[in-house]
Structure 1
Amino acid sequence: MSQAGNRPDPAVAARLGLVEGTSRHRRRWLWWVGLAGITLLLAGLALVGDGRQDGPSYRTAEVRRGDLKVEVTATGKLQPVTQVDVGTEVSGTIQSVEVDFNARVRQAQVMAKLDPEKYRADERQSAAALSLAQAQVDEAEATAKETANKLRRTRDLVKKRLASPEELDTAEAAAERAIAALAVARAKVEQAQAKLDADRRTLEKTLIRSPIDGIVLNRVVEPGQTVAASLQTPVLFTLAENLTQMELKVDVDEADVGQVEEGQTAVFTVDAYPDRTFPATITQVRFAPETINGVVTFGALLAVDNADLSLRPGMTATADILVREERDVLLVPNAALRFMPPRQEGAKGRPNLLSMLLPRRPRGSGHQAEPPEKTPKGAVAWVLRQGQPASVEIQTGSTDGAVTQVVDGDLEAGAQVIIGIERSEPTS
């Protein structure tokens, strides 16, 4: 084949870039495309940078002077100071019920009656047994008198030698037996009398009386009902002695019980009166623990004045116990003590080209908090100085959960402390 026959077609050579003019045109075209891409990338970076702020915007709060009240919250139930469950010691059928719910009763007042017929019969039987025992005493006394006279005559006859010593022995034994029989008869009288007294007492117990002056809180018996007191005394009524004076028993968490003492004041609320608070005073903090579902609490009793009878036994109450009160102290928000400044990436927080081309894994809001610092005074608050966070060491005291007392440090009333960072969306 000739050399001329091996040359490619001119159109094909131009398409493949084998022609020198075509290759130069292709390089120029690639250079313009690259320049346009770099221009677009720089423009995008500029837009992104303009959409970001130079640094984070901080939220601040004012340090102020004021009063601080430290309170312990506990829940519990209201109950009467004296509450008595009234039952019956005897079994039988309820003949009548004399009182109802909320009735005021006096001590010894009859509240219910049991059918007394069986116990009356027992009383009559005991009375008859007593009468029989007393008759036996009379008989024994007569026998003792008779044997004593016979013994005296026998002794006279023995002195006159008209009776033998054996007859004297017999008379003396008979007299002693008569005296013993009289003692037995008298003991039977006492036994019969005791039985009669017990039956009369049992008969008296068929009248169920109030042991105190009070109010009937609960009644769980109806006429015709049978009650059995063989193993356990059944409860028929529940009485409260005085509802004008009540007590609130609350469960104090073991972490707070060390701050609670007798004599401290408290206020509490109940669901029935959501807009009203009631005063109370701690009268007792118990040492015995109560464990419910693994939570250890200690009972505390609070005295409550209920003169208007608005509170009722069994109401659930939430009490705030005042354990400490500070007057006119410097207060800092607790959020300021939890704040730590973020670690910025790039100058003034603006993303650089490397961070845009090689983005890192996001961390929360884009900032990494510094680890808390340990200071001699124990706490750090942050303030803005020339737009940048600056730390201030402070010594803290009591807290109510929202603000904390500043005992020592360079903070003054009116200072603005950082409590957080404003999160703003990038502008387009």
Structure 2
Amino acid sequence: MTQAGTRTTGGKGAEIEARLGLGQRRARRGGWFWGLALVVVVAGGFALWRTLSAGDGAAAYRTGLVQRADLVVTVTATGTVEPTNLVEISSELSGTLRAVNVDYNDAVTAGQVLATLDTTKLEAEMAVAAANVSAAEAQLVRARATLDEARDNYDRVTALDARGVSSQQSLMAQRAAFGRAVADVTVAEANLDLARAQHGLVQADLDKACICSPINGVVLDRAVDAGQIVASALSAPVLFTIAEDLTRMDVQVAVDEADIGAISEGDAVVFTVDAYDDRSFPASIRTIRFAPETVEGVVSYTAVLSVQNDDLSLRPGMTATADIIVAELSDVLAVPNGALRYAPPQQSEAEQSGGGLLGMIMPHRPEDQARASGKSVWVLRAGKPVEVPVVPGASDGSLTEILKGDLREGERVILGEGG
């Protein structure tokens, strides 16, 4: 009974499902689910591709203009303003300064007394030397008188001897006396020369006690005061520093070894100093020194610039920043310097090889396949970046001349990405 009931029930259930179509609905429900999932995946991939494509096409670039311009090519160097002739005045003598006659910024003339030493001792030595000269002169006069007397006696004895009146012994004595008189005159003359030389030495020291200006100029520094003791035993101390002519100044700038080949004597220069932010001073290169200067491994060469300073606005020691004009170019094709530095972002190896799902379903962008070099710029043409090889020339710091390359005036070159 039980088995018969079970079969009856199973048969009725199958019959009911068959009537209602429940089995077919269950099969259709599974197929619809997987189809919907596939549509979602495809739609998502398409949306992602459209998003990336739209983002690429609408990428924002910072651009500059290809233009014709006049370029002034310069080399920048820094240095200091210096007088054309700077003299440091010292004292060869030791002693106490009796007086100091000048101060800072005083104008002086050649030969003007700047300071004097106490000359009491030198004056005493001068008096002794003068007395020695007088004594030597007197000795010479006496020696010459003795010589005259000896000459007369010798001549008289010689005449007597010729007549046979004088003896041979008397003749020899007068001859010896005459010779001694000649020698005494020579000694007296030498003593006089020695006394005069000693007098000259003392006079020279006395002259040096007067510290005088050797040139016309302006006192930049005074390192002594009256009453100060000057000791020059080991080294001559610097007492005054004088600039010859502040209306003509030099600017000594250090030019890097990488730029030294671009400049030459006579080049025009424009420089500024911190004291006058809104003023430029014209100058020219007077000389370029061959001697190198190495500071922390950096080699530079000194270029001396000549500048007129009629209004005395420039002062010694000021720091100067100079732009040396090495070339002036007119109406040349140029691009902003940033265009030569721009390069598209680097891609991963998967993107470059086109691997992966996106690589199979998305096209490659031309700008992603090119790589910028130091001799290329990227130009926007028809809204897309195109790499253009170029040969750059001189630069003025903001624009660079283009010697060769497929560029046209008015085109936009890429300087960077983003607004």
TM range (shorter): 0.7 to 0.9
Distance 1:343 1:226, change over 3 A: closer
Distance in 2 between the 1:394 and 1:44 partners?
43
Is 2:403 aligned against 1:400?
Answer: no
Aligned to 1:379: 375
Give percent identity, aligned residues only. 45
Written as runs of structure 1 = structure 2, the 5 A alignment for 1:92-111 is 92-111=95-114
1:279 aligned partner: 282
Q: Is the 8 A contact 1:266 1:281 kept in 2?
A: yes
Contact 1:343 1:370 in 2 (8 A): no
Aligned partners of 1:396 and 1:407 also within 8 Å: yes
Q: Compare 271-280 and 93-102 and name the one that shifted more.
A: 271-280
Corresponding position: 1:66 with 2:69: yes
Out of 162-171 and 43-52, give the one that drifted further. 43-52
Structure 2 CA distance, aligned partners of 1:271 and 1:263?
Answer: 25
Task: Choose the corresponding residue for 1:243, options 242, 246, 249.
Answer: 246
Matched-pair contact (CA < 8 Å) for 1:57–1:422: yes
- Classify 1:348/1:171 alpha carbon distance in 2 versus 1 (closer, same or farther; 3 Å): closer
User: Is the 1:77–1:248 Cα contact (8 Å) retained in structure 2?
Assistant: yes
Normalised to the residue count of structure 1, the TM-score between the two structures is 0.80
Which position in structure 2 is the counterpart of 1:204? Answer: 207
Q: Tell me, in whole angstroms, the C-alpha distance in 2 between the residues paired with 1:41 and 1:119.
A: 114
Shift of 1:301: 0.9
Could you tell which deviates more after superposition, 282-291 or 323-332? 282-291
Aligned partners of 2:320, 2:61: CA distance in 1, in Å?
A: 41
Is the CA contact (8 Å cut-off) linking 1:340 and 1:370 kept in structure 2?
A: no
- Relative distance call for 1:383 and 1:171 in structure 2 (3 A) is same
More helix by share: 2
Deviations along 1:40-90, one digit per CA (max 9) or x if unpaired, are 988876776676424544332110111111100001110111111111121
RMSD (Å), alpha carbons: 3.2
- Mapped partners of 2:124, 2:44: distance in 1: 111
Q: C-alpha distance in 2, partners of 1:291/1:172?
A: 79
How far apart are 1:36 and its partner, in Å?
10
For residues 42 and 346 of structure 1, what CA distance do their matches in structure 2 show?
Answer: 26
CA drift at 1:372 = 4.7
CA distance in 1, matches of 2:138, 2:301: 66
The alpha-carbon distance between structure 1 residues 386 and 346, as it changes in their structure 2 partners (threshold 3 A), is farther
Where 1:222 maps in the other structure, the secondary structure is coil
TM-score normalised to structure 2 length: 0.82
> Is 1:418 aligned with 2:419?
no
State yes or no: 1:144 paired with 2:140: no
Which residue in 1 is equivalent to 2:117? 114
How many residue pairs get matched? 380
The aligned residue for residue 134 of structure 1 is 137
Query: What is the 5 A alignment of 1:3-402?
Result: 52=52, 53-55=55-57, 56-342=59-345, 354=357, 370-372=370-372, 379-402=375-398
Q: SS at the partner of 2:343?
A: coil
Structure 1 residues 345 and 221, CA gap change in structure 2 (3 angstroms): closer
Supply the distance in 2 between the matched residues of 1:44 and 1:112 (Cα, whole angstroms). 98
Give structure 1 stretches of 5+ with no counterpart: 1-29, 357-366, 424-428
> Which residue is 1:9 aligned to?
none
Q: For the residues of structure 2 that align with 1:151 and 1:396, how far apart are their CA atoms?
A: 105
- Residues 253 and 296 of structure 1 are in contact (CA less than 8 Å); yes or no, is this contact kept in structure 2? yes
Between 1:115-124 and 1:330-339, the stretch displaced more is 330-339
Aligned amino acid, residue 239 of structure 2: L
Secondary structure (helix, strand or coil) at the match of 2:265 reads coil
Give deviations 1:103-151, integer Å, cap 9, x for gaps.
1111111111110101101100100111111111122112212211221
Deviations 1:268-320 (A, max 9, x none): 11111122211111111111211222211111111111111111001111101
Report if the CA contact (8 A) 2:61-2:416 is conserved: yes
CA contact (8 A) 1:343 1:369 kept: no
Distance 2:43 2:223 in 1: 87
1:154–1:163 contact (8 Å) kept in structure 2: yes
2: CA distance between counterparts of 1:107 and 1:163? 71
Cα distance change of structure 1 residues 354 and 300 upon mapping to structure 2, 3 Å threshold:
same
Is contact 2:372-2:387 (8 Å) kept?
A: no
Cα separation, 2, equivalents of 1:34 and 1:194: 128
Deviation at 1:401, TM superposition (A): 3.1
Equivalent-residue separation in structure 1 for 2:327 and 2:47 (angstroms)? 56
- Find the aligned partners of 1:337 and 1:398 in 2 and give their Cα distance: 13
Assess, with a 3 A threshold, how the Cα gap between structure 1 residues 353 and 146 changes in structure 2: closer, same or farther.
closer
Q: Is this contact kept in 1: 2:350–2:356, CA < 8 A? A: no
Deviations 1:348-375 (Å, cap 9, x if unpaired)? 99x997469xxxxxxxxxx9885556xx
> Helix, strand or coil: the match of 1:224?
coil
CA 1:73/1:157 → structure 2, altered by over 3 Å: closer, same or farther?
Answer: same
SS in 2 for 1:162: coil
1:19 is aligned to: none
Which residue in 1 is equivalent to 2:26?
A: none
